[in-house]
Every structure is written in structure tokens, then in C-alpha cells.
Amino acid sequence: MAGPLENVRVLDMTWALAGPFCAMLLADLGAEVIKVENPEGGDTSRKNFPFVKEVSSYFLSVNRGKKSVTVNLQHPRGKEMVLSLAKKSDVLVENFRPGVMDRLGLGYAAVREVNPKIIYAACSGFGRTSPYAHRPAYDVIVQGMGGTLSITGEEGGPPVRVGFSIGDIGGGLFCGPVNTVPQVASDPHTLAREMITQVKHTQAGMLRVVNSPIKLSRTPVKLERASPVLGEHTEEVFMNLLGLSEEDLANLREEKAI
């Protein structure tokens, strides 16, 4: 059964955690999510520990179900490729600091020129109207400026960061026992809600991952793919969606545009 966002195409220009998590939720709901990554290493979170079968579990946890293409955003032809993809997409999600996409020639004004109907979702730590708009905002900064660090830890001791990125993903709090991760995975509630599932990874094979918490009766969420290998879908997307030939792709690679 198809998900509620079937036939919706999302151009994912995000990296790290908050943006990828947002785009992953759309993939969970059935959207086709095309993640654009730097050819030189891709999303920086691909290098984050811990690793499972040489795959970053951090990256895996917020990028399942997506397609990955590599594009050099600094290259003029790379910019053309992204605008061509944006023209055929319904949504663009990005989480660079405000102004970065404009400098790349890929801001809302530029994208709107090729696709007036696109939903352009820009996710940043402080928004676009704050005096702090151009500051970077990792989770620990959000926890610190939001006061969370000041009320976490022991009385008289130093501020303590919450153990997971609550500032980035906005997790819920609940009352109950303090479980270890294995205890959480085997808890009757976790099992009843089918919150652990298996997905196939191109490199690592079958992996157990956290399932989507979104439960819909008529359009159930079904996870079928793990996170993509860097550039795994470059040929598929550019040839099928943009009509490029193998020769075109070879030329773009030679120019280091993709």
C-alpha cells in the first residue's frame, strides 16, 4: 500500500542532523527523496561514529529511504543540475546558514524562477529574521542558549549536555524507568508498536533500525531501504529524470561537476 506522500518528489539539500531528519520523515511517508551530496565525501555525518559494518549508524539513522546523487555545488554545471532537479521536484529542503544557498545561486528566488510551485523549506538554527541568523547552530549550542544545559546535571556541578540531540530532533520526554538501549529495544511497548524493523543496505546487508513512529491506518509507513551509499543513484536520477546519457555523465565527472 502506498504512503500518503506517494508521487511527491523532495530535493534534499541538507546535511548533519536536523535537515536530514526532516527529509527522512518525508521519505518514511512515501515521498521520493533525492539527497544531493558533495562528491568529495558526501554528508559529513557519513564519518560519524559508531559504525556498523563500516556504515555510520549516525548517518543511517536520519537518511533511510533516500536516493543519493553527487553534485559539486561550486561548479557552474553542478548548479545547473540542481536547478534541473528542482524544476522536477515538489519540495526542496535545505539547512545551510541563511545566505549560503543564495550565494550558490540556489536560493528561493532562483529556484522559484524554474519552478514557481515548489515548496522551499529552509531549516536553520535561528531563522532568517533573528540578529543571530548567520550563526551556526549545532545541537549543543541550541541546548546551551535555550537553557537546557543550565538545568541538567548535578547541583553545583558544571552544565551537562542531554545525551541525545534533543535540540535537533525535538524528542519527547516521558516518565518511567531509566532503560539501557538494549532494554528499550526489547520493551513490550517497543515491540507492540513495531518500532524496530529491518532494512537492506547496499553495503552492509540487512540492518535493524528504529522504525517510524508515525502510524497511519489507510496509508501505513513502510521502510524498505536503508541510507544510500554516496552517489548510489547518480546515474539513475540523472539519466531517468533529466534524460542525460552515459557520455553526458562521463563528461560531468571529468569536469568534476558531479
Out of 12, 28, 168, 248, which one is annotated catalytic? 168
Residue 128 has pLDDT above 90, yes or no: no
Q: How many whole angstroms separate alpha carbon 182 and alpha carbon 195?
A: 13
From the candidate CATH numbers 3.40.470.10, 3.40.800.20, 3.40.50.10540, 3.30.1330.80, the one assigned to the domain spanning 9-128+177-254: 3.40.50.10540
- pLDDT for the residue 214: 82
Give the mean pLDDT of the chain.
90
**Is residue 132 pLDDT above 70, yes or no?**
yes
> 12 catalytic, yes or no?
no
Name the helix (H) or strand (E) containing 140: helix 139-145
Q: Kindly tell me if the per-residue pLDDT of 164 is higher than 80.
A: no
Reported confidence tier of residue 173, pLDDT bands at 50, 70, 90: very low
Domain boundaries, the chain: 9-128+177-254
What is the distance between the alpha carbons of residues 234 and 215, in angstroms, rounded to a whole number?
A: 32
Tell me what pLDDT residue 172 has: 34
> Of 93, 85, 35, 91, whose CA–CA distance to 64 is shortest?
35
What does the pLDDT look like over 50-102, one tens digit per residue? Answer: 999 999 999 999 999 999 999 999 999 999 999 999 999 999 999 999 899 99
pLDDT at residue 46 in the model: 97
pTM, whole model, 2 decimals? Answer: 0.84
pLDDT of residue 10: 98
Q: Is the pLDDT of residue 139 over 90?
A: no
What are the residues facing 210 on neighbouring strands? 196
Which segment, 108-117, 141-150, 215-224, is predicted with the most confidence on average? 108-117
For the record, the C-alpha cell of 72 comes out as: 559539486
pLDDT top residue among 256 and 137: 256
> Residue 176 has what pLDDT?
53
